[in-house]
Amino acid sequence: MFSWRITKYNPKNRDERGSYLDGREWTCFSEVGTKVSEEDYLRTESNYINAITTFMGEMGLNRVYLNALEMWSDEVANQNASGFLSKMWVGKGVTTQEINELAKLTLRNVIWCKLSYKNDFFVHFGYDYYMYIGANKDCPNARKKVRASGLFVENFNSPYLH
């Protein structure tokens, strides 16, 4: 299984242990308007969501399954996501459109989820705008396209595999 860490963080700004050193970097949706403009935030969020569908495209997938789901009620209400989330459950097959919404809500710290397709593909989300994608194929075209969007694709095992 191939596994990558997908982030907006330049690996050149990491120390020898992998810690990110640039404290000026924004790390979450709550920093829109203080550390990041809404326009820059939305562009980055879109790049992350597109990364998922780009890898799925190279894998030939048009749906995955929801493997884990945690919701934070205050934020669910703030993002007007109650109706959408009432139709989500662990084990549900989710379409690309639903994946886009789940990813957006996860990146905005409204929910946390894990997505996968059998043992062939996964998407995991970490704290501070870290995302992990794994596939049973190398996906060179997807990696190239995601890098061209401005995100960094590093070989990295997801800490959320268990």
What band does 19 get if pLDDT is binned at 50, 70 and 90? confident
pLDDT value of position 162: 75
Cβ atoms within 10 Å, residue 92: 14
> pLDDT tens digits, residue range 42-55?
999 999 999 999 99
What gap in Å lies between CA 120 and CA 2, rounded to an integer? 10
Tell me the mean pLDDT in the region 19-26.
Answer: 88
Q: Which of 124, 134, 111 has its CA nearest to residue 59? A: 134
Query: Per-residue pLDDT for 75 more than 80?
Result: yes
Query: Per-residue pLDDT for 28 more than 90?
Result: yes
What gap in Å lies between CA 161 and CA 122, rounded to an integer? 9
Tell me how many degrees the CA angle 118-119-121 measures, rounded to the nearest 5: 85
- Name the strands in the sheet holding 121-125, side by side, starting at the edge strand that comes first in the sequence: 93-95, 63-71, 111-117, 121-125, 131-135, 2-7, 152-155
Tell me the mean pLDDT in the region 66-92.
Answer: 92
Residue scoring higher pLDDT (72 or 156): 156
pLDDT value of position 73: 77
Tell me the mean pLDDT in the region 71-77.
Answer: 85
Q: CA torsion 132→69→75→26, rounded to 10°? A: -10
| Angle, helices 38-59/96-107, rounded to nearest 10 degrees | 140
Specify the 3-state DSSP secondary structure of 131. strand
